[in-house]
Amino acid sequence: MIIDVHGHYTTAPAALGVWRDLQIASLQDPGRAPKAADLKISDDELRESIETNQLQKMRERGSDLTIFSPRASFMAHHIGDFAVSSAWAAICNELCYRVASLYPEHFVGAAMLPQSPGVDLASCIPELEKCVREYGFVGLNLNPDPSGGHWTSPPLTDRHWYPLYEKMVELDVPAMVHVSTSCNACFHTTGAHYLNADTTAFMQCLNGDLFKDFPTLKFLIPHGGGAVPYHWGRFRGLAQEMKKPLLEEHLLHNIFFDTCVYHQPGINLLTEVIPVDNILFASEMIGAVRGIDPQTGHFFDDTKRYIEAASLTAQQRWQIYEGNARRVFPRLDASLKVRGL
């Protein structure tokens, strides 16, 4: 199977954005806040939004299954308070659940959390429980910076995050460490903030000892790990200076990287530097980079082409396409086995 571990519902019907605009407009007058029941999106509208977009491209490019979560830039945890985030997360997660229910052979959900700056992470547990136990979701997106580019939260190794980690371990679900919209003018959302966050999350974990407390906790760092593969020597050297174990022992039992890297040299570097056991196939289509590369004539985010062209054995490609995803997402593996796959 070709399993894409990084998909967002970027093509949701326009009514979702209209509802969100009303919610934001009501922040100064909570009595005018829209109710969840006010959002009306039919199954036919969901089908149209998927079949002419993600599903069409999956068929064209030869992928089978996508781990599907709400649009990352829409999470916007810096807007409003916990009640606002909670209502918004519940709506977005339900839409992904409905898509997965309509197309169970092609989509499985991952949860958006109702994070809010300064709020105890235990507040996110009920939504995560619902998504995993009731919706059958197999993972979650964890925003290390719910302030939207100002980095007011403690590092991921801080005990502030431990209530969520304890629940993740109990449910046996990994987290994709994925920020949302930047409201800091210094950081373009997809060109800087996302990649900064990928690099920052890895360094936070290197600098701490989180996985001594949570040896089975799993993080997926998207977008190829940001700067991590390119500066692997720097991180190895820093770990040595900090008297940390080798990175293979210190982090790579718990941290994984996806292939949302949009040119062949980048994928070549990723697969040459990072152990193949730690790389999972992903495209993030239809996402931040949607155009056609004039140098190749193919879409930038058609990442399967890069994997096929990389210097990999058939066994290594299977690991990247399927084997590693089934190991990192145990609930996905279990659901596939129930289907005889």
Residue 65: what pLDDT? Answer: 98
Confidence category of residue 305, pLDDT binned at 50, 70, 90 = very high
DSSP state of 131: I
Confidence category of residue 77, pLDDT binned at 50, 70, 90 = very high
Burial of 169 (0-12, 13-18, 19+ CB in 10 A): middle
Q: Please give the Cα distance from 83 to 127 (Å, whole number).
A: 12
Under 8 Å between Cβ of 144 and 208 = no
Under 8 Å between Cβ of 290 and 298 = no
Please state, for a pLDDT cut of 90, what percent of the chain lies above it.
98
Confidence category of residue 30, pLDDT binned at 50, 70, 90 = confident
- Please list the alpha-helical segments (H only) found in 175-295: 194-207, 210-213, 232-241, 247-250, 264-273
Q: Count Cα atoms within 13 angstroms, Cβ side, for 86.
A: 12
Candidates 86, 97, 90, 92; CA nearest to 137 is: 97
Report in angstroms the alpha-carbon separations of 179 from 98, 198, 284, 317.
24, 9, 14, 28
Under 8 Å between Cβ of 261 and 282 = no
- Please list the alpha-helical segments (H only) found in the chain: 14-25, 43-51, 54-61, 72-75, 82-102, 125-129, 162-171, 194-207, 210-213, 232-241, 247-250, 264-273, 303-309, 314-318, 324-328, 330-338
Q: Is the dihedral of CA 40, 44, 50, 52 positive or negative?
A: negative
DSSP state of 277: G
Whether pLDDT at 31 is above 90: no
Q: Which pair of structure tokens corresponds to residue 79?
A: 């807007």
| Catalytic residue selected from 94, 127, 284, 322 | 284
Q: Please give the Cα distance from 75 to 85 (Å, whole number).
A: 8
Q: Please give the Cα distance from 273 to 267 (Å, whole number).
A: 10
If you average pLDDT over residues 95-113, what whole number do you get?
A: 98
DSSP states of 291-337 as a string? SB-TTTSSBTT-HHHHHHHSS--HHHHHIIIIIHHHHH-HHHHHHHH
Residues 6+ apart with CB under 8 A from 257: 220, 221, 222, 224, 225, 228, 229, 270, 274, 278, 279, 280
If you average pLDDT over residues 204-217, what whole number do you get?
A: 98
Q: Is 60 a catalytic residue?
A: no
Q: What is the Cα 244 distance to its own chain's centre?
A: 28
One-letter amino acid of 249:
E
How do residues 141-180 score in pLDDT, each as one tens digit?
A: 999 999 999 999 999 999 999 999 999 999 999 999 999 9
Confidence category of residue 206, pLDDT binned at 50, 70, 90 = very high
